[in-house]
A and B are shown apart, each in its own frame.
Chain A
């Protein structure tokens, strides 16, 4: 087996590393001015994120003198402990941390990456969109406020299918004409996701400025509240820059019972796909029961932001030591 020549050397140039340092200090400055507190929470946890679309990495801890090692999960985002801080009265907080996702490596993915996550008390998702715009306009040269589009509007204009009135058969037919090979179990939710990616995705890539997509279908609510006006919609948004997903934000779900149900539904998907049920984060659920203040939160990929700032195409170019050299 031949080792890659120079594999011990960093991939990112010194200029890019200087840009990274300056980006991080500008972000800290931005939040300091707005009175948002920087926090740190553990990367390792004894409980898991049951989101079936995300695969966790495992680690272990052995007590001194013990033969047995306890399974620990590397976090896929700092969301749960940050919400425990919010429930304990921290006020608005932000965190910049390394985050881990298994099986994700490519032009836009490194299994270990840097995330900026922040929560704003008494913000709805629209106020948080304004703040994402303000931050990005400060960090990216020539960045204007993002155009905002409802998910369902983009969906109908690029697929010709109305999200809410379409029958499963119509969605299936539209997906087949877009080249989708029907899986054995093609649930409506998946068909909508894949059609959005295949039909709206190319349009998003052509946009030179930021685009915010909001009012996601309730099936893609993840950890967001459902809209009080229209329960078919989730108060979630995504920020795309030239087709690249840069940030994902929620008007946060605060209902402990609803949260437990969503966790259990995700965990059932794990079991159906043959994996083990995951231990739920009872600390997090208990904190929701204590009461999460009304807040919105968003996670933003720092490495991708740095790619835009430096004008490079591959995530490896902004990492000192990407996964293959880690």
Chain B
């Protein structure tokens, strides 16, 4: 089993604590003049996203978390799991609803997603920063000729609802920033 010593702590390092995988955000080495050194770390729980602060005695070891970030292709959902495939090895992975989380709103079949695997299972699925999706429903009656102004709601093929400019119509394909959930342009 791989371990890390506290002197290997650096941001991005992933290790196990209380059976959960964590990633180091910040590491501060504290050395009192006449005392023993320790490491104060700010860490993110990769399952819950929660950020906590912990203090480790210098020289202690922690168990490395078997965490891998990779790009997988989204295949389909059976309603319970979301299935992904490694485009090189063709190996398939099933992600739970908790792992897919918000990405559900943006991904469609054959999209490439960043997936964090923990012990070989998808832990976090991230939608691409930009996706292009077809509009399945929006109010056709609202007309306008600028992209400014309040816009109108539009439903995308994935079911997500975003605000689009008045000139955008049903069946058009639009580009969306998944981080903000905002319309970018017509695709």
Please determine whether chains A and B interact with each other in the same assembly. yes
Which residues on A are within 8 Å of B, measured CB to CB? Answer: 51-53, 104, 106, 109, 178-181, 183-184, 186, 190, 193-194, 197-198, 220, 222, 238, 245, 248, 273
Residue B148 is within 8 A (CB to CB) of chain A in the complex: no
Instruction: List the 4 closest A-B pairs by CB distance, nearest first.
Output: A183-B57, A193-B35, A180-B55, A183-B60
Contact B34 A53 (CB under 8 A): yes
Distance in Å from the Cβ of A189 to the closest Cβ of chain B? Answer: 8
Give the distance in Å from the alpha carbon of A220 to the alpha carbon of B32 in the complex: 11
Residue B54 is within 8 A (CB to CB) of chain A in the complex: yes
A residues near B38, Cβ cutoff 8 Å: 194, 197
Contact B55 A179 (CB under 8 A): yes
11 further interface pairs, Cβ-Cβ under 8 Å (given A53-B37, A104-B31) = A53-B35, A53-B36, A179-B52, A181-B55, A183-B60, A186-B57, A193-B32, A197-B32, A197-B35, A245-B33, A248-B33
- If A193-B36, A273-B59 touch, whether A179 touches B53 (CB-CB below 8 Å) is yes
Give the distance in Å from the alpha carbon of A183 to the alpha carbon of B33 in the complex: 21
Contact A178 B36 (CB under 8 A): no
The total of Cβ contacts below 8 Å across the A-B interface reads 51
Contact B33 A181 (CB under 8 A): no
A residues near B31, Cβ cutoff 8 Å: 104, 106, 109
Residue B29 is within 8 A (CB to CB) of chain A in the complex: yes
B34 interface neighbour in A104, A194, A222, A273, Cβ under 8 Å: A222
B residues near A184, Cβ cutoff 8 Å: 60
Distance in Å from the Cβ of B19 to the closest Cβ of chain A? Answer: 13
Give the distance in Å from the alpha carbon of A148 to the alpha carbon of B32 in the complex: 19
* Interface membership of chain B positions 37-60, coded 1 if the CB is closer than 8 angstroms to chain A and 0 otherwise: 110000000000000111111011
* Interface membership of chain B positions 58-90, coded 1 if the CB is closer than 8 angstroms to chain A and 0 otherwise: 011000000000000000000000000000000
